[in-house]
Amino acid sequence: MPPVLISVVITTYNRPDALSAVVEACFSQDDHRFEIIIADDGSGHNTQQAVAALAARSPVPLRHVWQEDLGFRAARARNLGTLDARGDYIVFLDGDCVPQRNFISQHRKLAQRGHLVQGSRILLNQPATARVLGQRIDLQALGAADKLAWRRRGDLNKVLPLLFTLPDVGRTSKRFTWRRIKSCNLAVWRADLELVNGFDESFLGWGHEDSDLVVRLFNAGVMRKDGAYATEVLHLWHQENARDQETSNRATVLQRAADRTVLAVKGLRA
């Protein structure tokens, strides 16, 4: 049975222009059986103003959860969003990933008990991102010719997944891998998140807290499903985050895969 209500948890930090583009794209979905929770990792007043303006004209329920800015704490922000969510299926989306018009309806089609869905993304380069945000370009309104032209200019790193949608066939595999996991577009049943205690807030700095979640979900019996050619988002360019903790975080994920760890050390239930 497909989910009744989908909760879209959008993570953001001090980038109100990109967040507004993402939320505006959510407003234009062809399926409105969802809610939006802005999971804010300590943004300032400009983001609060932007969220208030968006909430005032949102066609779906929209709420804002905020935590103090104490460094990169995306895991805790997503957990706060999960705790506030009322849906039985949660789609995690980053505040710089603009969804296509059928994003929600495609995620609903792919939702399957016992599985998470790793969504797909297409990268925009820096000049294209500057144009989109500066000129408020509606990425959902781009036609096939526009998308091909953007790809020829190098504005997009790929284009075929924007032109073709494939059915829900052959998207699951008995072979599990946690590689290329990105929580910028990731769908998980709420019951499964509760089973593994959500994201692990004990991860320090940028990197692999999303891989850790997926590894623990797999250890709990949840399989991975591929959302490519169905759930694409357009990922706006941004500077790379500091990756000083990436190596140790990756080592933790590898150890948890070997140990068959299921529960987060510090998660939804603290």
Tens digit of each residue's pLDDT (9 = 90 or more) over 129-160: 999 999 999 999 999 999 999 999 999 999 99
pLDDT class of 182 with cuts at 50, 70, 90: confident
Whole-structure pTM value: 0.95
Q: Is the pLDDT of residue 242 over 60?
A: no
Where is pLDDT greater, at 240 or 196? 196
Kindly report the three-state secondary structure assignment for every residue of the chain: CCCCCEEEEEEECCCHHHHHHHHHHHHCCCCCCEEEEEEECCCCHHHHHHHHHHHHCCCCCEEEEECCCCCCCHHHHHHHHHHHCCCCEEEEEECCEEECCCHHHHHHHHCCCCEEEECCEEEECHHHHHHHHHHCCCHHHCCHHHHHHHHHHCCECCCHHHHCCCCCCCCECCCCCCCCCCCCEEEEEHHHHHHHCCCCCCCCCCCCHHHHHHHHHHHCCCEEEECCCCCCEEECCCCCCCCCCHHHHHHHHHHHHHHCCCCCCCCCCC
* Contact call for residues 145 and 162 (beta carbons, < 8 A): no
Domain residue spans in the chain?
A: 6-259
Q: What mean pLDDT, rounded, does the chain reach?
A: 94
pLDDT at 1 over 70: yes
CATH for 6-259 is 3.90.550.10
pLDDT digits (tens, 9 = 90+) for 46-58: 999 999 999 999 9
Helical packing angle, 246-259 and 209-219, nearest 10°: 0
Distance of CA 49 to the CA centre of its chain: 22
Report d(CA 6, CA 8) in Å as an integer: 6
Is residue 16 over pLDDT 60?
yes
Instruction: Give the residue-averaged pLDDT of 165-187.
Output: 88
Q: What is the mean pLDDT of residues 101-118?
A: 97
pLDDT for residue 243 is more than 60: no
Is the pLDDT at 14 greater than 90? The verdict is yes
What local confidence, expressed as pLDDT, does residue 119 receive? Answer: 95
